[in-house]
Chains A and B, each alone.
Chain A
């Protein structure tokens, strides 16, 4: 949180294929500034129609409701298209917003990426 404002890490860290899953690694701060970028990345991933989509949020320092709205949109896409969305490694700051918005129960949330991939 104390990095220089001009040296922020990109929010999209990597997209990896692991077995039948696609893993999207997010990081940094997901707010109004970059949630459109995240949404666009998910739309690229949709083209591959992955049976399992794992979002690794271990490196996410902060997420606001625009990020949450993006994830709700992804969940809806997954439900319509027969994919499974799994969220992994939610930090305390990220869990807060799920908790406040009472949305933990609608997502599959795993402590780690390894756990999400082993299901």
Chain B
């Protein structure tokens, strides 16, 4: 289900913001927070597993590609409960902002899964797990990833 509702009036009921170092030691912190917020919002267990996996993949990509490896630079993770009453849709919005290297969002694509080789499937996982995925450049540096999963 890919739905574009960005331009409709929205209400944010919950807003949680984490600021973590670009270090794999803290992947667990973001994963746990995502898991718990998704559970509170009412997403199903199997969806929560996939959403938390998408968050870890996104953060891993930031550490590896945007910052070029583990470092003490920041990554901001926002977890918002969203609600679009006009179309009776609600869900979890996750925004991941980094301050590293910028890339053309058009070039961020998952690789062909038919080829059996290690690595490069993170973007595919993100697109499969979430209903909306949007990569944009930050105002001055870095990238922002906005992902949404709607409640059924």
Contact = CB atoms under 8 A, between A and B. Distances in A.
Overall SS of chain A's interface:
helix
- Among A70, A76, A101, A103, the one with the most B-chain Cβ atoms within 10 Å of its Cβ is A101
Contacts of B129: 100
A69 B35 CA distance: 24
A64 B119 contact: no
Contacts of B31: 1, 62
Contacts, number: 75
Given A70-B118, A101-B124, A102-B113, A31 B49 contact: no
B60 A64 contact: yes
Nearest to A64: B56
A65 B119 contact: yes
B50 A66 contact: no
A interface, size bucket: 20 to 34
7 contacts: A2-B32, A32-B64, A62-B53, A66-B60, A69-B119, A101-B121, A103-B113
Interface stretch (A10-18, A42-50, A80-88, A90-98): A90-98
A77 B46 CA distance: 32
